Amino acid sequence: MKPLLAVTMGDPAGIGPEVVVKAAAEWHDANIAVWGAPNVLQSAIERFAPTLKLTVLNDLNELKTFPFAEQNELVCFAPESAFYSSLKMEDFCLGEVSEAAGHAAYECVVSATQAVIDGFADAIVTAPINKASINLYGIKNFCGHTELIAEMCETKNFSMQQSAGNLRVAFVTVHIPLSKVAESITKEKIIDTTTLIYDGIIQEGIENPRIAIAAINPHAGENGYMGHEDIEITEPAIEELLAQGMNVEGPFPPDTLFIPEIREKFDGIVAMYHDQGHIPFKMLAFDKGVNSTLGLPIIRTSVDHGTAFNLAWLGKADIGSLVAALNLATVKAKRS
């Protein structure tokens, strides 16, 4: 039996609806139900995937028993009580931040996540959202999918991972200002993040994965001349991980860690902060990267790009990242 993936439409003012319907028309390795606005998805189908027909379900029990027989059918889950269910194209402006778009996008994520938690779907795959729109809706200091879904799962020990094939990067810190990075990194956080990516790679079928750990400072601190954090925090964390039997190395100077001669020796990389890992990763795999959350009791993957308001509804959005996210969610669902 194929797994059932709960897919969110993302911010309707961005490229989310386009990539979702285009991927649904081409990709059939698992069953898909899209949490989204029927009117918006129908408009996206007419523009970008005219072979699809839209079927709307209003109750999770319908979803549980739906046959998913036709490959040219897009199943949309939209309960009548949800705000997003009645959203229309005229309720927001394409390519612009808006309260209505943020409300709909946020509600879709919350509803789809809860459905996976409750066992109505096997994994959640999220299309891109706009944090400014969600904050405008009233969810103040909203940081992103990762933190929201972890909170809903009541998970405190979690990590963001970016992946593309055998390139995997997990992050000790993510959505915090650069000025707060050094003070936020602890030996325990490095150990926790490394353990999460180590266990996550094992779940993909690789035994005893090899993990590279980045330094906090340039040149790994240059023996203390560029900071003592790696001497006092990173190196003790690595020693403890080695004592636990994990196959880890480091700390590596961040500016050389991602060159082929080094990165290809490892199954995973631990980065200390957002841009330290995201910039090289997206340079290497922007069109096929997957964002997933390690440590959750559910499977969650996502596209590795934003809402791309400049490309919204123009037919130019690439579905590579979403297809990769669907593939990874399917692999994990089949192994769980």
pLDDT at residue 245 in the model: 96
Residue 175 has pLDDT above 90, yes or no: no
Residue 141 has pLDDT above 90, yes or no: no
Residues 15 and 144 occupy one common structural domain: yes
Residue 70 has pLDDT above 90, yes or no: no
Residue 221: pLDDT band (50, 70, 90) is confident
Residue 97 has pLDDT above 90, yes or no: yes
Of the chain, the end-to-end C-alpha distance in Å amounts to 13
Residue 225 has pLDDT above 90, yes or no: no
The beta-strand segments (E) located in the chain are 4-8, 31-35, 53-57, 73-77, 123-126, 159-164, 167-171, 210-214, 247-252, 268-271, 290-294, 300-303
**Whole-prediction pTM:** 0.90
CA dihedral sign, ordered 124, 128, 134, 135: positive
N residues, the chain = 336
Q: What is the DSSP letter of 253?
A: P
Residues 149 and 176 occupy one common structural domain: no
Residue 268 CB partners (closer than 8 Å, separation 6+): 168, 169, 170, 197, 198, 200, 201, 209, 210, 211, 212
Residue 197: pLDDT band (50, 70, 90) is very high
- Give the span between the Cα atoms of 216 and 226, in whole angstroms: 10
Residues 141 and 232 occupy one common structural domain: no
Residues 120 and 174 occupy one common structural domain: no
Token pair listed for 152? 């809903």
- Check which CATH number belongs to the domain holding 325 and give it: 3.40.718.10
Residue 302 in any domain: the answer is no
Residues 143 and 85 occupy one common structural domain: yes
What is the per-residue pLDDT across 12-60, written as a single tens digit (0 to 9) for each? 999 999 999 999 999 999 999 999 999 999 999 999 999 999 999 999 9
Q: Which residues pair with 291 in a beta bridge?
A: 162, 302
Other residues' Cβ atoms within 10 Å of the Cβ of residue 303: 28
